[in-house]
Structure 1
């Protein structure tokens, strides 16, 4: 599906109306294509702190060109600022000193990353300064324009070397529709770094389970994980069997048709993964449904079915896989939440409760994970799919424009975020909820 408005404003008439009426003029976003470099340009590195000395080496490991000084007339594809050395409110002036002179030197669709220390791990003035970074990055994300993104990554002490996979994601077109987000590295669980032997195919030899895999976002998740080297095991309901089988044949994967809400579904999934694949490395709880009604008119079956598919099934499947030891060492569990679970939505009390519950599942299990296993979630905003194409025009336009990028996202944007979580190098990324919403103006 395409954004018809975005196509219109690129036309001669559309450009004229944008100029004279001040209409939204979304920049076409750059997205990653297989085999392309992570960053097509130079990243300027600045700041002082625990990561300053290692940053150029980390970027070089990823094949990203970096500079520590800005020459006159030079342009940059990205900016990385090490703010871990800011220990008091007065030190925040360093943000203006670094960013103001170079913001007009950015290419289209630039990436900005600020690195800080988790505020909860420090005290006094340092805690104040580090917490201030959230307001700074979220505001800059709404200012930057031109398809740019701004993120804050809190890196726990000792996790400096474990930040490579996160930098690779946040500085590349893979994070095209992710902005204004706060990521914590090493704050929950391990701080160790895991070596990635092939950054083009980091999931080589891994097995990935994707529920709701036959179409839409689930299909794109399967495709991206396959691109990164994984053997994908797609799961969907029997009614979608033909589509699921066709996709898995194309991806040289495996499939399992069942209703994930079935009483024996967790046991069947666990048995299949153990017997056919010897375990699983990545589990993506993507399957989801909506049954919208205002609560005053909500029938019992509408409430129960949404909670059963979106939340109770992921809970039961996760617990079964962990209890049976089916999730391999350094494995990944990823839930698909929603911006509705954060900001709420009219007519979606059931859906919002289920998606907020997915976030609760991450919160409840993150501290329990062992053997390098992580659990995280994505929270998509307005993603252009066949389902959203059926939304009334006015509602659809509001949903697509009410974000810093003035456009909807694509299923691949959700998939790329999940692939970052799935990366073996993301062992220190645990307990996070990242919103794939173009930095929505409300709730993000």
Structure 2
């Protein structure tokens, strides 16, 4: 689905109105295409913390051109600042000293990453300084413009080598609609750093389960995981069987049609994965429904039981399936579980008490399991904002426009933006990324 307003702003008349009336001016976002380099330009590295010495080597491993010298002529596609050395608030001036001289020399769709130490793992003045990084990065994300993004990555001591996949994601066009996010590496126990032989096919030889895979965001997830080398097992309801089978045949994948809320669904999925694939490496709980209505009008006996059905599909089924796969040992060591939450589960939304409760519960599932999982298995969630799909195309025009414009990028995201974030979680080299909830929302201006 196209963004007609964004197309209008690029027309001669649109440019005049945007300039004179101060209208939202969404910049075209660069998105990754298979075969492209991760970063099409130079990344400037700065800071004097515990990651500074290793950063050039990590970027070299990713094939990313980098330098620590900001000469007067060079324009930059990315900035990486190691702030782990900031021990009290007087040292925060280093942020201004590094960024101010080079911000006007950033290319469009540039990437900014600040690396810090999780405040909860520090004490005293250092904790104060490290917490300040969140306000700095979120504010810069709303200033930077031109399709650029800003992220904060807290890296626990001893997890310095586990940051490579996260840098690759955040510095590349794969993170086009992710900005203002705080990511923690190594915050939930020690992770074993996993190497990847081919960064273009990090999921080669892996099996990935995707529920709700036949269309929309689920289809995009299946395509991106396949692109990254995985064998995809798509799951959807029997009514979507033809679409599901068509897609899985195109991707050389496998499929299973069932209602995930069925009493025997967890056992059937576990049996299918174990007998046909010998287990699973990536589990993506994408299937979800909405049944919107204000709570005062949501009677217990209303048609379709809006409350029970939404909770059953969006969180109860994913929880039961996850626990069944774990109990039977179907998820392979080093595997990844990903839940699809929503901004509604963080900020709330009128008429969506049922949906918001279910999506907040998905985040609760991540919180519940992050410290319990063994064998290097991780669990994380994505929280999409306004993503342009056939479903959102049916939203009333005024509501749709507000949803698309009230973020730092002044536009809606695409299904592939959610899929790329999930693929980063699923990357075996993301073993230190556990217990995170990353919003794929263009950095919403209100509520979250």
Q: TM-score range by the shorter chain?
A: over 0.9
| 1:403 aligned partner | 407
Partners of 1:44 and 1:3 in 2: how far apart? 33
Which is worse superposed, 11-20 or 93-102?
A: 11-20
Indicate the SS of the match to 1:39.
coil
Partners of 1:283 and 1:36 in 2: how far apart? 27
| 1:363 aligned partner | 367
| 1:205 aligned partner | 205
Shift of 1:12: 1.1
- Structure 1, residues 271-316: CA drift from partner, whole Å, max 9, x if none? 0000000000000000000000000111331100000000000000
| 2:249 aligned partner | 249
Which is worse superposed, 10-19 or 172-181?
A: 10-19
- Structure 1, residues 157-216: CA drift from partner, whole Å, max 9, x if none? 000000000000000000000000000001112233110111000000000000000000
Partners of 1:431 and 1:50 in 2: how far apart? 23
Partners of 1:40 and 1:190 in 2: how far apart? 33
**Alignment map for 1:187-198 (pairs within 5 Å):** 187-198=187-198
| 2:314 aligned partner | 310
| 1:89 aligned partner | 89
Which is worse superposed, 19-28 or 203-212?
A: 19-28
| 1:156 aligned partner | 156
Indicate the SS of the match to 2:26.
coil
Partners of 2:341 and 2:20 in 1: how far apart? 39
TM-score normalized with structure 2 length: 0.99
Q: Does 1:215 align with 2:215?
A: yes
TM-score normalized with structure 1 length: 1.00
| 1:281 aligned partner | 281
Structure 1 runs not aligned, ≥5 long? none
Q: Does 1:378 align with 2:382?
A: yes
Q: Does 1:414 align with 2:390?
A: no
Partners of 2:19 and 2:94 in 1: how far apart? 36
| 1:147 aligned partner | 147
* Contact residue 384 and residue 410 of structure 1 kept, 8 A: yes
| 1:225 aligned partner | 225
Shift of 1:156: 0.3
Shift of 1:13: 1.1
* Contact residue 386 and residue 404 of structure 2 kept, 8 A: yes
Q: Does 1:28 align with 2:28?
A: yes
Indicate the SS of the match to 1:383.
coil
Indicate the SS of the match to 1:242.
helix
Indicate the SS of the match to 2:78.
strand
* Contact residue 189 and residue 366 of structure 1 kept, 8 A: no
- Structure 1, residues 386-418: CA drift from partner, whole Å, max 9, x if none? 000000000000000000000000000000000
| 2:70 aligned partner | 70
Partners of 2:91 and 2:375 in 1: how far apart? 39
Structure 2 runs not aligned, ≥5 long? none
- Structure 1, residues 330-382: CA drift from partner, whole Å, max 9, x if none? 00000000000000000000000000000000000000011110000000000
| 2:292 aligned partner | 292
Partners of 2:132 and 2:20 in 1: how far apart? 37
Q: Does 1:114 align with 2:118?
A: no
Partners of 1:189 and 1:148 in 2: how far apart? 32
- Structure 1, residues 55-84: CA drift from partner, whole Å, max 9, x if none? 000000000000101111210000000000
* Contact residue 191 and residue 376 of structure 2 kept, 8 A: no
| 2:429 aligned partner | 425
| 2:346 aligned partner | 342
* Contact residue 47 and residue 82 of structure 1 kept, 8 A: yes
Which is worse superposed, 145-154 or 11-20?
A: 11-20
Cα RMSD of the aligned pairs, angstroms, is 0.5
Partners of 1:410 and 1:3 in 2: how far apart? 11
Indicate the SS of the match to 2:37.
coil
Indicate the SS of the match to 1:158.
coil
Indicate the SS of the match to 1:146.
coil
* Contact residue 164 and residue 425 of structure 1 kept, 8 A: yes
Number of aligned residues: 444
Partners of 1:198 and 1:373 in 2: how far apart? 21
Shift of 1:89: 0.6
